[in-house]
Chain A
Amino acid sequence: MKKIILLLALVMALAFGALAEDAEPAMPAGYVLVSTATQSGWLPLPTEGDSVFPLSQVLPDGTQALNVIHLMPDGVYMEDSTCKNHDCVGEGEVTLENIPERVLGNMIICLPNQVVLQLYTPEETMAILGELPEIPEREKP
C-alpha cells in the first residue's frame, strides 16, 4: 500500500513538473514593428540569446537593399545596412530601458532604404494590434 501511494505521488509530481514547464513558455520582452516602403510586420524579441534578421528588399527605384536587424532579448539594433550614410547603424541600440534617453525614442530609421524599426512592449503591442503577434508566421515583413 505504501509503495502504491509513493508511486502515485511520484507520478503526480512528474505530471505537475511537466505541466509547469508547459505553462510557462518564455514570453518575449517586446516586439519590433518593422516597416519598409511597401510592407510592415512584427518581430518578437528572442527569449534567449541574440538573433539576426536579414531584411532584403527591392527599393522603389530598383536597387537591392539589405538591412541586418540584430535582435537581443531586451532590445534591437541595426547591425549592418547597404545604405550610403549608415545613420541607422550609428543610431545604436533601442532597449526597453533606454527609450526616454534616446533622441529617436523607440525608433531606428534607415532613410535611404526606407526602413523603420519601432520597439514596443507587449502591452503597447496589444494596444496597437489588439493581439500579440504570432511568432513565426507574421515575422517576415
Chain B
Amino acid sequence: MSDTKEKRPASRARVVARFGLLTALALVLGWLDRAIPITWLLSGAAPGIKLGLANTVLLYAVYLMDWRGCVLLMLAKVFLSGFLFGSMSAIIYSLSGGALSLVVMLLVRRNEKYGALAIGLMALASDVALLMRNSAPKGRMLWIMLLIAAASVAAFAGFCAIRKNPRLGVLGTSLAGAVAHNVGQILAASAMLRTPQLLYTYLPFLVGMGAAVGCLTGIVARRVFLSLRAPGM
C-alpha cells in the first residue's frame, strides 16, 4: 500500500530512510520554530504563535506517504520533541494540534482548492469578529487585522490559482493544516484550563494567524516539492 505513487517500487530501506529523514527534519525544524520569536516580531503579547516549519514536514508526508506513515510520523514528532524540549502538557497540546491538522490535511489532500476557499472564508470571518470587538483598532491590533485580511485575500487567490493549476494544490493543504493545528491546540488548551472563554477570545486571532502562516509554509512547501520533483506534484 505504501508508496504506490512512486515510480520505482519502494524498497523497505527506502521507506525507512525517508521516515527517518522526515522525523529528523521535523525535530530540527521544531527547534527552529521555538528559536524564531515570531510571536514577538508579529504581535507582541500573543503566546502560541509559531512559524510552523515543523508542520511543513507533516505536509510533505501527506504527499509522500500513506496515512499510516503520516500518523506514525506525527506521533514520533510529537513525543520525541515533547520529551526533548517540552513537558507532559506540551505533548498534549501538540498531539491535539498535530492530530487535527493531520486529519484535515489528509481530507483536504483530495480537494485542495476547497481547503483554500474554506480557510479564506474563516480568516475573513475572524477578521470581522476581531473588528466587531474593536472597531477602531490601532497600533499592533491594526497590523494584526491587516495581516489577517491579507491572509484571507491570499487564501482566496490560492483558491483561484489552484482551480487554474492543480499543481499548486499544496497551498490549500498547507493553509488548512496550519489553521487546523491552531484550532486543535486552542481546543486542548481551553479544555485543560477549563476556560471556554479562551476559545471566544483567542480563536479568531489563531485562525487568522494560522491562515497567514499557512500561506508562507505553503509557498515554502511548493518550492521544496519543485526541487524534490516529488511524484504527483
Contact = CB atoms under 8 A, between A and B. Distances in A.
Nearest to B88: A61
Contacts of A55: none
The bracket for how many chain A residues form the interface is 20 to 34
A35 B193 contact: yes
Nearest to A87: B47
Contacts of B89: 111-112, 114
B141 interface: yes
A114 B192 CA distance: 8
Interface string A60-95: 010000000000000000000000110110111000
A141 to B, nearest CB: 13
B139 interface: yes
B43 interface: yes
A116 interface: yes
B4 interface: no
A109 B88 CA distance: 18
Where chain A touches its partner, the secondary structure class is loop
Contacts of B88: 61
Contacts of A88: 47
A35 B194 contact: yes
Interface of B: 40, 43-48, 87-90, 93, 133-134, 137-141, 144, 189, 192-195, 197-198, 201-202, 205
22 contacts: A35-B194, A37-B193, A61-B87, A91-B45, A92-B44, A100-B134, A101-B134, A101-B140, A102-B45, A103-B45, A103-B140, A104-B45, A104-B46, A104-B47, A109-B189, A111-B89, A111-B93, A112-B87, A112-B90, A114-B89, A114-B192, A116-B195
Given A87-B48, A106-B201, A111-B47, 8 more contacts: A61-B88, A87-B47, A92-B45, A100-B134, A107-B195, A107-B197, A116-B193, A116-B195
